[in-house]
Amino acid sequence: MFTKIPDGFIKELLKQSISKYPDRKICTRFPPEPNGYLHIGHAKSIVLNFNIAKEYGGNCYLRLDDTNPIKESIEFVQSIQEDIKWLGFKWNANVKYSSDYFHILYQYAITLIKKNLAYVEQLTQEEMRLYRGSLKNPGKNSPFRNQTIDENLFLFQKMKSGLVQEGSMCLRAKINMSAANIIMRDPVLYRIIFKKHHQTNYDWVIYPMYDFTHCIADALEGITHSFCTLEFQDNRQLYKWILKKLNFTTNPPQQYEFSKLNLEHTVLSKRKLQKLINLNIVKGWNDPRLYTLSGLRNRGYTPNSIRIFCEKIGITKQQNTIQLSLLESCIKKDLDYTSFRRMAIINPIKIIITNFSNKKIKKIHVLNHPKNPELGRRKIIFSNELYIEKNDFSKYKVDNFQGLILGEKVRLRYSYIIKAYQIIINKNNNIKCILCKYYPNTLGKKNQKEKINGIIHWLSKKNSEPAIFKIFNNLFLSKNPEKNKDIIEEINLKSCLIKYGFVESIVKSEKIKHAYQFERIGYFFQDKKDKEFQNQIIFNQIVSLKNKYKKI
């Protein structure tokens, strides 16, 4: 299941660090904030960190970066662990939490104050923003920057004791208000939040910021390589500054950046996903239209296909957007050899074979998989009433149309050749059924010289069960919905189509490994969690075989 780290900048920097510290154990971590469910972008980071540890005989930890109780919850803490396990990875040691270090971090903050490297800010947030300056203009020192060490210790203690209002004070590092890198302009290290924390309850009212927490947690855990995404490039200077000032000088962890995964036709940021959920555009974090790991699982994606996808896209520093077709090709490849083939009709139209007795049936034995005979065989039934797909029928000849045309012949897959000769219309002027003839001596004879207009899938009424098919299309119309300030304007209102059709009867009772391939349509995963259509057979389309079906 695991592949080696490919050549590239990651391999190179690992080589260099190993030659510099040959006896050091490589140690990585995956540090999600429990403020949402994991998505496929996180999978990229998970695969990177866990594969490195595995290849180099090191450790990879799971650390929940829980420094902001406002957006975090135990539900997210649990879902993150489930999703990582589902992907097939095991972290070393127990789950770690940034909150495990709150006491130590507090002591380190006091150390910085005592070294005159941190102070308690009393400007309002708006004033702080004005004092910070801009890319072009240097910032200005806060009037509180020169408080004495004792004053700062006293005020920080007061903050910790809950005697200071939220937002009216914070602890800042004393670095340089004119630094070219704005992050170094006295960054905030601690803020006040009066909210119950999922791990520490009401123990704390001051919470350390990401920048202060992350580097210290990395150092305390003996992380050697701390990988994050490119937007943290400027934070690297602060990461180093904090570790240096706190004397983590022997073998400190190093931060390295790589580019985020962006996927076409979707958004990945947890904040945006939360918005879609809050607005009821999707049904929750595990909605099959989302590229969250739980959404993909619900849709029928396998962990293997996601790991392979992550390995294929590789790790670089170039920002780019990956086509969905790459992910789709990974799942198709993963399911191809092991998925039973069945026939299903998702937009049925009825066929009556007028020269086949309604009292007879013809049993036909067919392979469950044309290229994998190990999957065995099954019986299908031919009878006088059949279903085919609406879009496999045309009244008239159309260029490149392969299917049943009035007056022409088509082969029913594994079965006979039939010819359509009349359409029966109902009261509403819709097609009620199509009358056809079958040719008795054409059963399964593929290489006959008969001129046919294609091979189509079908079902006998006597061998079918009603089923509901959920056909998913992209949730966003445009390739890059984030170009629009309001991503909601980009929503595709037809992202989930419900179809009432039929599947082979055998599907009702059989237990299969994972998914079916419904011939000529796509791969489908039985949705047993759907609460809307209870006691019915429901299938989620994982991926279609042809783009044509996306338009159904």
Residue type at 173 in one-letter notation = A
Chain positions 478 to 517 lying near ligand ATP, rule: CB under 6 A, are none
Q: How far apart are CA 405 and CA 423, in angstroms?
A: 11
Q: Find where tokens 């037809």 sit.
A: 494
**CB of residue 88 to ligand ATP, shortest distance in Å:** 17
Judged by beta carbon, residue 169 or residue 268, the one nearer ligand ATP is 268
| 271 CB-side CA count, 13 A | 2
- CB-CB contact of 206 with 160 (8 Å): yes
Among 73, 181, 269, 453, binds ligand ATP (CB under 6 A): 269
- Using CB under 6 A as the binding rule, whether residue 253 contacts ligand ATP is answered as no
Among 199, 229, 254, 329, binds ligand ATP (CB under 6 A): 229
**Strand, coil or helix: 229:** strand
**CB of residue 33 to ligand ATP, shortest distance in Å:** 4
Among 173, 268, 335, 344, binds ligand ATP (CB under 6 A): 268
Q: DSSP label at 281?
A: S
- Using CB under 6 A as the binding rule, whether residue 73 contacts ligand ATP is answered as no
**CB of residue 228 to ligand ATP, shortest distance in Å:** 5
Q: How far apart are CA 215 and CA 208, in angstroms?
A: 12
Q: How many CB atoms lie within 10 A of CB 400?
A: 4
Judged by beta carbon, residue 378 or residue 479, the one nearer ligand ATP is 479
Among 145, 260, 369, 413, binds ligand ATP (CB under 6 A): 260
Q: How far apart are CA 492 and CA 490, in angstroms?
A: 6
Judged by beta carbon, residue 26 or residue 346, the one nearer ligand ATP is 26
Ramachandran angles phi, psi of 279, nearest 5°: -85, 5
Judged by beta carbon, residue 41 or residue 139, the one nearer ligand ATP is 41
Which residue's Cβ lies closest to ligand ATP? Answer: 41
Q: How far apart are CA 314 and CA 311, in angstroms?
A: 5
- Binding segment (CB under 6 A) for ligand ATP, from list 141-149, 263-271, 352-360, 442-450: 263-271
- Binding segment (CB under 6 A) for ligand ATP, from list 101-109, 267-275, 329-337, 470-478: 267-275
**CB of residue 187 to ligand ATP, shortest distance in Å:** 17
**Strand, coil or helix: 137:** coil
Q: Work out whether the CA dihedral 39, 44, 45, 47 comes out positive or negative.
A: positive
Residues 6+ apart with CB under 8 A from 415: 364, 380, 382, 443, 444, 458
The count of residues interacting with ligand ATP (CB under 6 A) is 14
Which of 297-329 are b and which e, b meaning 16 or more Cβ less than 10 Å from the residue's Cβ? bbbbbbbbbbbbbbbebebeeeeeebebeebbb
Residue type at 291 in one-letter notation = Y
Q: Find where tokens 């899938």 sit.
A: 457
Judged by beta carbon, residue 260 or residue 350, the one nearer ligand ATP is 260
Instruction: Give me the residues paired with residue 435 across strands.
Output: 352, 422
Chain positions 25 to 44 lying near ligand ATP, rule: CB under 6 A, are 31-33, 41-42, 44
Judged by beta carbon, residue 33 or residue 408, the one nearer ligand ATP is 33
Residue type at 113 in one-letter notation = I
Among 17, 28, 45, 147, binds ligand ATP (CB under 6 A): 45
**Strand, coil or helix: 475:** coil
- Binding segment (CB under 6 A) for ligand ATP, from list 171-179, 265-273, 302-310, 440-448: 265-273
- Using CB under 6 A as the binding rule, whether residue 467 contacts ligand ATP is answered as no
- Using CB under 6 A as the binding rule, whether residue 189 contacts ligand ATP is answered as no
Where does this chain bind ligand ATP (CB under 6 A)?
31-33, 41-42, 44-45, 228-229, 260-261, 268-270
